[in-house]
Amino acid sequence: MAKGKKSTKPVASSNWKKLLPTIAPADSKKKRKAADDFEISPNFKCWDKRQRIEKMKASHNAKKTVTTTTTTTTTTTKETIPDKDELWFGEDVDEDDLKNVYAHKETPQEQKLKKKSLVAKMNAVTGDQARLGKYVAIDCEMVGVGPEGTDSALARVSLVNFHGAVLLDIYVKPQEKVTDYRTHVSGIEAKHLESEEALSFKDAQFKAEAIIRGRILVGHAVYNDLQALMISHPALLIRDTSRYKPFRKLAKGRTPGLKMLVNEVLGISIQSGSHSSVEDARFTMQLYKSVKLEWEKSFGAKSGLILKKFSAKEEQNSSKKKVSIKEVAEDSESNSQSDSNSDSDSEDDASDDEE
Over the stretch 24-64, which tens digit does the pLDDT of each residue have? 565 555 555 554 444 555 555 555 656 666 766 666 665 54
pLDDT of 18 over the 60 cut: yes
The top-scoring range by mean pLDDT among 86-90, 184-188, 217-221 is 217-221
User: Rounded to an integer, what distance in angstroms lies between the CA atom of residue 153 and that of residue 146?
Assistant: 10
pLDDT of 141 over the 60 cut: yes
User: Rounded to an integer, what distance in angstroms lies between the CA atom of residue 51 and that of residue 55?
Assistant: 6
- Of residues 22 and 113, the one with the higher pLDDT is 113
Residues 6+ apart with CB under 8 A from 237: 214, 215, 216, 217, 307, 310
Taking residues 190-199, report their average pLDDT: 93
* Distances 32 to 36, 37, 38, 133 between C-alpha atoms, Å: 11, 10, 12, 67
pLDDT of 354 over the 50 cut: no
Give pTM, 2 decimals.
0.60
- Domain ranges (residues) in the chain: 36-68+85-103, 115-138+153-171+200-301
Taking residues 147-158, report their average pLDDT: 92
CATH class of domain segment(s) 115-138+153-171+200-301: alpha beta
Instruction: Label residue 165 by pLDDT band (50, 70, 90).
Output: very high
Among 26-35, 155-164, 197-206, the minimum mean pLDDT is found in 26-35
In whole numbers, what is the pLDDT of the chain averaged over residues? 76
Instruction: Label residue 162 by pLDDT band (50, 70, 90).
Output: very high
What is the Cα 171 distance to its own chain's centre?
25
Residue 136: which of 178, 167, 105 has the closest Cα? Answer: 167
Instruction: Label residue 270 by pLDDT band (50, 70, 90).
Output: confident
Taking residues 182-192, report their average pLDDT: 91
User: Rounded to an integer, what distance in angstroms lies between the CA atom of residue 197 and that of residue 289?
Assistant: 32
pLDDT at position 60: 64
- Of residues 325 and 15, the one with the higher pLDDT is 15
pLDDT of 286 over the 50 cut: yes
Residues 6+ apart with CB under 8 A from 183: 189, 274
Among 131-135, 253-257, 297-301, the minimum mean pLDDT is found in 297-301
pLDDT of 9 over the 90 cut: no
